[in-house]
Chains A and B, each alone.
Chain A
Amino acid sequence: MEYVLQTEGLSKRYGRVNVVDSVSMHVKRGSIYGFIGKNGAGKTTFMRMIAGQAAPSGGSMRLFESEDLERQRVRIGTLIENTGAFGGMTARENLEILRRSFGIPEKRRVEEMLTLTGLADTGRKKVRNFSMGMKQRLGIAISLLRNPDFLILDEPANGLDPAGIREIRELLLKLNREKQITILVSSHILEELSRIASHYGIIRDGRLIEEFDAGELETRCRRCLRLVVDRPDEAAVILEQTLQIRNYDVPGPDTLRVFERLEDPSQINMALMEKGIRLKESYLSGQDLEGYFMELVGKKD
């Protein structure tokens, strides 16, 4: 089984507004899929459809390569929007309610989850008195209660302090590596996301505009000299023959990216100009995920 989640043209419409518009997403087994988008882009609605909390208006989806969604959703753990726990009860009581609802016979499962998420010593403290970080950890405990194969986490680091963010990151990496749990995670902290994600999807105005893996992101965000010229074919020949540069690519019709000899870009610029190439732009670039995301979304705006 290669894919845990495949959607084809999945859509959700509220009235006349397409909140999720024909999204075709592919989440590979064992991957950590970073789902990126601005507020209101449709991330949460998409996740809710996958989790069975909202009915799609169109399109189809497959979970674990099966169309029997009801049965396969048993294998999914979710933390979408909020913890989903009664504020007037303790963490243990909330987990006990869900243990009974899910028909998990082992009572110790509740204690295991509390220990795993560092909530074992919360005792009689009500959830309403929990800090944001504790609530998020309880949400993760709830999502893991059933030993899921696929985790859907919507902003799990929301409201956490740096130490809390690090804890969540390490927990997710541990779950992914040791238990082979596939994770679909959305976050606004893109730097943090880039530390764990192996695949990415970028959604804008309900549409999935890009889907790529970490390797591809590295290539796209690599430090390079970006050249915008009038005759890219001739410029490429000059790079190879005159400057002996092999490490470059042509990402656009008039754009070249040079990945070597970046210590002195003026040599490259001069060589091109001497051969009569009109150099419209020449600049060093190199981004992180956040920069790439902003460029991508900004470009569309």
Chain B
Amino acid sequence: MIRLLSAERYKLVRSKSLYISVAVMTGVVFLMYAMMGMMDRIRKKEAATETDGAVIFAWEESVSDSGAEQGSVSSIWEEIGIMEMVRQIFSGDLIACVLAVFVSISVVGEFVSGMMKNVVGKGCRRWKIFLARLIVTEAASALIILTGIASAVLAGWLFAGSGYLAGLSLKNLAAFTGLQLLPAMALTAVYMLAGGLCRNYAAGISLGIGIAAFPMLIVTGLDMMFAQSAFTPSEYWLVSRSAGCPYEGFTAGYVAETLTVSLVWFALAAGAGIWHFSRADIR
């Protein structure tokens, strides 16, 4: 097992997909901040000469409608704190999509290149091969998530200044990070299962992105169906749980629920993945 982990780690360090995923994650975070910065400038009319007049007009109208006095508009950074920004970044399916692409490329690449058949049947039990891959892929996914959170803090400091970080509670940030990592780890196992089933780049990535996007819409619809009852399906799906994660006021019940949901999904996906990989023909 140790030797398999060593090989997987070597592979990960040498492959470009991890670095590209980390770069995309960082790039998107910075892009979001840049857009917020642009909105801030538009709001303060600092960008009037560089921006489409219609946008300025619309903004002025909306400000006028809300009764705010023109010329005394507050900074967007004052309204949206650093933790809110971090939550915004994780509230969509962006992270889920980045993980989907990374894991699919990583898993499918093993089969497409033929590397997998050089390892299978060479004295290592298949479940051990799968487990080693799972452990290293989980570590890489965690690195991508942590990079996203670190980038969000760094970009906040760069775009809004050091004062922006004053409202940052490290305790809350750590708790939020942990609560984001749990479903992300389970989601990684789900993507590994999907990639193992597809063994084709296009199909694997499409299925991964599909898993990231569509179930969230379905569970939102189900939430409406069960609106009259106490049952909320979206709380049991990883992506919606990640999106709805609070950034303060964490309760023990919420943490335990997130842990349970993540563990159940992880066990199901990893179990199915090992079962399938142990029986599948390797081409």
Which residues of A are in contact with B by a Cβ distance under 8 Å?
48, 51-55, 70-71, 73-74, 76, 78, 80-89, 93-94, 96-98, 100-103, 142, 146
List B contacts of A81 (CB < 8 A): 114, 283
List B contacts of A102 (CB < 8 A): 3, 122-123
Given contacts A73-B122, A93-B14, contact A53 B115 (CB under 8 A): no
Whole-angstrom distance between the alpha carbons of A89 and B116 in the complex?
15
Interface contacts beyond A53-B281, A81-B114, A84-B117: sample of 7 additional A-B pairs, CB < 8 Å, sorted by A: A55-B279, A73-B123, A78-B121, A93-B14, A97-B10, A100-B3, A102-B3
Question: What residue of chain A has the Cβ atom nearest to residue B119's Cβ?
Answer: A101
Whole-angstrom distance between the alpha carbons of A53 and B282 in the complex?
5
| B279/A84 in contact, CB under 8 A | no
Question: What residue of chain B has the Cβ atom nearest to residue A80's Cβ?
Answer: B117
Contact of B10 among A54, A84, A96 (CB under 8 A): A96
Most buried by A among B7, B116, B279: B7
Whole-angstrom distance between the alpha carbons of A169 and B114 in the complex?
24
Question: What residue of chain B has the Cβ atom nearest to residue A79's Cβ?
Answer: B118
| B118/A84 in contact, CB under 8 A | yes
Question: What residue of chain A has the Cβ atom nearest to residue B110's Cβ?
Answer: A86
List A contacts of B233 (CB < 8 A): none
Whole-angstrom distance between the alpha carbons of A88 and B119 in the complex?
18
Smallest CB separation, B135 vs chain A (Å): 14
The 8 closest A-B pairs by CB, nearest first: A52-B121, A84-B114, A100-B7, A74-B123, A103-B3, A101-B7, A54-B281, A84-B118
Whole-angstrom distance between the alpha carbons of A81 and B117 in the complex?
10
Smallest CB separation, A130 vs chain B (Å): 13
- Per-residue interface assignment for chain B, residues 107 to 131, with 1 indicating a CB less than 8 Å from any chain A CB and 0 otherwise: 0010001111111111111000000
List A contacts of B120 (CB < 8 A): 52-53
Whole-angstrom distance between the alpha carbons of A102 and B10 in the complex?
13
Q: Does B15 contact A (CB under 8 A)?
A: yes
| Chain B positions 248-282 with a Cβ under 8 Å from a chain A Cβ | 279, 281-282
Q: Does B4 contact A (CB under 8 A)?
A: yes
| B122/A146 in contact, CB under 8 A | yes
List A contacts of B3 (CB < 8 A): 100-103
List B contacts of A103 (CB < 8 A): 3
Q: Does B171 contact A (CB under 8 A)?
A: no
Whole-angstrom distance between the alpha carbons of A100 and B12 in the complex?
13
Question: What residue of chain A has the Cβ atom nearest to residue B15's Cβ?
Answer: A88
Smallest CB separation, A242 vs chain B (Å): 62
| A97/B117 in contact, CB under 8 A | no
Contact of B115 among A52, A71, A85, A146 (CB under 8 A): A85
Question: What residue of chain A has the Cβ atom nearest to residue B278's Cβ?
Answer: A55
List A contacts of B118 (CB < 8 A): 78, 84-85, 98, 101, 142
Whole-angstrom distance between the alpha carbons of A285 and B131 in the complex?
60
Whole-angstrom distance between the alpha carbons of A51 and B120 in the complex?
9
Question: What residue of chain B has the Cβ atom nearest to residue A52's Cβ?
Answer: B121
List A contacts of B125 (CB < 8 A): 70
| B123/A87 in contact, CB under 8 A | no
| A73/B121 in contact, CB under 8 A | yes
Sampled A-B contacts (26; CB under 8 Å): A48-B117, A48-B282, A51-B117, A52-B121, A53-B117, A53-B282, A53-B283, A54-B282, A55-B279, A55-B281, A70-B123, A70-B125, A73-B121, A76-B122, A78-B117, A81-B114, A81-B283, A84-B115, A86-B15, A86-B115, A93-B10, A97-B7, A97-B11, A100-B6, A101-B118, A102-B3
Whole-angstrom distance between the alpha carbons of A96 and B117 in the complex?
16
List B contacts of A89 (CB < 8 A): 14-15
Whole-angstrom distance between the alpha carbons of A89 and B13 in the complex?
11
Whole-angstrom distance between the alpha carbons of A54 and B7 in the complex?
23
Given contacts A54-B281, A97-B10, A101-B4, contact A86 B122 (CB under 8 A): no
List B contacts of A70 (CB < 8 A): 123, 125
Given contacts A53-B117, A101-B122, A102-B122, contact A86 B109 (CB under 8 A): yes
Whole-angstrom distance between the alpha carbons of A1 and B260 in the complex?
55
Smallest CB separation, A133 vs chain B (Å): 17
Question: What residue of chain A has the Cβ atom nearest to residue B126's Cβ?
Answer: A52
List A contacts of B11 (CB < 8 A): 86, 97
List B contacts of A83 (CB < 8 A): 114
Whole-angstrom distance between the alpha carbons of A83 and B117 in the complex?
10
Whole-angstrom distance between the alpha carbons of A142 and B125 in the complex?
20
Given contacts A53-B281, A100-B7, contact A85 B114 (CB under 8 A): yes
List B contacts of A52 (CB < 8 A): 120-122
Smallest CB separation, A33 vs chain B (Å): 19
Question: What residue of chain B has the Cβ atom nearest to residue A73's Cβ?
Answer: B121
Whole-angstrom distance between the alpha carbons of A86 and B120 in the complex?
16
